[in-house]
Amino acid sequence: MLMATLSLGITMLAQSSTATTTMIQTPHITAPEGAFAKTVLMPGDPLRAKFIAENFLEDARLVTSVRNMLGYTGTYKGVPVSVMSSGMGMPSMGIYSWELYTMFGVENIIRVGSAGSYKEGLEVLDVALTECSVTGSTYALTQNGETATTLYPSQTLNDAIRQKANELGIALKMSKVYTTDVFYTNETWQHIADRTGADCVEMESFALFHNAAALGKRAACLLTISDSFVTKKELTAEERELSFTEMIRIALETAISSDISAVTATSAAGHNQESRKRLENNHVVIYSHGKTYDATGSQVH
């Protein structure tokens, strides 16, 4: 009788606990409400996300693994931080960053990825901070009518990243990044570099910057140079996974900085949002700090 009573009590407690946990499920992410921190580090590779969680976060727990796209939340120096893989390419980054921003309460995403260098002086293992991303992709045009082919990260995040890199004594190379849809192309890298003016190439940041701008969120992109088209030097797959510690340290220190915590708190409360663009009635409108402007910058309502 006692065992039956205890068993019933345990069952009721489990049911009660389950009943108070709201699961949020999309086709790509399934996680409890509140499972993600306000700031997420996003490498492309799920194994790199796992490496960051296991080696840099305390009490890291796996919060989503749908399609083996691994997402973790833990603490860094006592502050909640999440890390989740984005997959490769703008469509994949577009899906995961959009859902994190809109469904899971994320305010800041810092991409921590790899890039190939087009320039002398941007060497393998250098850390590059993206100052703008240029593309020939139609990702933004298809998503909401955005015609710009050069997009920018959050100035707030970039300022914090530069400050933390300086405090850590890590040199940053400010870089114009070419975000491409195509990994294998007949166009030569020299022609791409000349045509775009880019310092390096990757496949995700433009989509991330677009989603952040469209939703009034913040995004930044730190890149470790994994190979150089100029010198032909490159890292192995294992080195790519394990050797990006300087970039990761900068991103984590930024995630817990007081400046980012303060602006995140005001944004989560619905204030001080950075500019975002949308297409309404076939016209681009710009929202900034609670006001609406047309494409010329004139306030409309």
Question: Given the structure tokens 């580090």, which residue do they identify?
Answer: 41
Question: Given the structure tokens 């030569």, which residue do they identify?
Answer: 188
235 Ramachandran zone, left/alpha/beta (phi>0; psi -120 to 50)? beta
Picking from 106, 212, 110, the residue whose alpha carbon sits closest to that of residue 158 is 110
Calpha distance 99→95 (Å, rounded): 6
Catalytic residue among 45, 126, 199, 227: 227
Round to the nearest angstrom and report the end-to-end CA distance of the chain.
70
Half-sphere exposure of 131 (CA within 13 A, CB side): 9
- Retrieve residue 50's tokens: 């796992």
Q: Which residues pair with 109 in a beta bridge?
A: 40, 219
Q: Are 38 and 264 within 8 A, CB to CB?
A: yes
Q: Which residues pair with 40 in a beta bridge?
A: 82, 109
Residue 79 has what DSSP assignment? E
Quick check: is 126 catalytic? no
Query: CB neighbours (10 Å) of residue 183?
Result: 9
Residue positions annotated with a catalytic role: 227
